[in-house]
Amino acid sequence: MTAFLNDKAVERLRSVGALSDFSGTRYILQEFLARGGMGAVYAAQDKTLNRRVAIKVLDSADRHDALQERLVREARVLAQLEHPGIVPVHDAGTLADGRVFYVMKFVEGSRIDQFLASVPSLPERLRLFLRICETVSFAHSRGILHRDLKPSNVMVGAFGEVLVMDWGLAKILRPDSNARSEETVRSTEPLLGAVAGGGETQITSVTRDGMILGTPGFMSPEQAQGKSSSLDVRSDIFSLGKLLGTILTQTKNAKAIRVPRALGAICEKAAAENPAGRYASVSALAEDISRYLDGMPVSAYPENFWERAQRFYTRYQAAILLITVYLLMRAAFVFFGRS
């Protein structure tokens, strides 16, 4: 075979062979975009609505595979979270070969860590972080933890929209803490025939105590210890603290950025080893960032007199300068002017 085809052609055939088969669906596969832990993401054309979409397809076709449950759960979690900071899910289904997929909005943009190279201003970086906080706070208000917040899971779109991606490890918190280790998503419309027994589908998550899911360097200590049942919003707050550290220090030319002490203290408080030492909610973390941006004191950092004076000067710099010039001018007129 290789005697008739060159290496490039063989490579092309291999890549085409590896693509998912979308025949029987309303989507035409266009290109491979990325590969994650569970499967691959492709760009495709929606024939019915004539628009470009992104499709996440699971690698495994095993109906009893835990990953299959996880992908379905991710699609349902995303479908529940209607927010400008979360990519909307348009459709979900099963391919002819048994692999599940879901269809989402095609987002053009770049990962936040790559985007930061073009954002030199600290306030702009903080405002981007606030947008991430808004999205995560929204998810928490719906009882959902992300559990995998990191730079590669945050995208900045072509119009500056900030999107929190990859909810594959999301945990659904139940109101009764005793049942937290078993996460349940209920739906009246079954997606998987094998899992759905009747009108109501019940998918039980495979996340149990002892199983470690997340990204080292960004996951909380309790998450790294596999204490899935004891995770709460403070676990995401830890990841947000680490993410804030990255957002503050990421540069294009590897030149170290001097992080202001107040912001350093916010990072430290958010990413404290002990959950009790962290912010109680994402909105409390965002409030501290907003206060810093407004030139106000932050709860994470007790200032001394000089730091308070410096902050006061920075906040009212223009007015202080104008008043000083006015007073100096008036004094000059009094002492050196016409009597």
Partner 1 sequence: MNKIVLGLLVGALLGAIDGGTAWFTPAVRPAIVGIIFGSTFKGLIAGVAAGIFARKVNSVPLGILFGLAVGFVLAFLVAYLQHGYYFEIILPGSIVGGLVGWATQRYGAPVAAAAPAR
Catalytic residues: 148
**Residue 286 zone, left/alpha/beta (φ > 0; ψ -120 to 50; rest):** alpha
| Stretch of 53-61, 134-142, 149-157, 317-325 lying at the interface with partner 1 (CB under 8 A) | 317-325
What's the closest the beta carbon of residue 160 comes to partner 1, in angstroms? 18
Smallest gap from Cβ 313 to partner 1, in A, equals 15
- Does position 336 interact with partner 1 (CB under 8 A)? The reply is no
Nearer to partner 1, 2 or 121 (CB): 121
Q: Which span sits near partner 1 by CB under 8 A: 70-78, 218-226, 251-259, 331-339?
A: 331-339
Q: Which listed range, 44-52, 192-200, 245-253, 322-330, lies at the site for partner 1 (CB under 8 A)? A: 322-330
Rg (CA), the chain: 26
**CA 162, chain centre distance (Å):** 9
Which tokens sit at 270?
A: 């958010």
| 219 vs 148: CA distance, rounded Å | 7
Task: Determine if 337 is a binding residue for partner 1 (CB under 8 A).
Answer: yes
Q: Which is nearer to partner 1, 306 or 335 (CB)?
A: 335
Residue 210 binds to partner 1 (criterion: CB under 8 A): no
Q: Give whichever of 84 and 217 is closer to partner 1, judged by the CB atom.
A: 84
Distance CA 141, CA 85 (A): 14
Task: Give the three-class secondary structure for 117.
Answer: helix
Residue 174 host element (H or E): none
Q: Quick one: 2 or 339, whose CB is closer to partner 1?
A: 339
Give the three-state DSSP class for 112. helix
Q: What one-character DSSP code corresponds to residue 229?
A: G
Q: CB of 264 within 8 A of CB of 300?
A: no
Enumerate binding residues for partner 1 (CB under 8 A): 318-319, 322-323, 325-326, 329-330, 333-334, 337-339
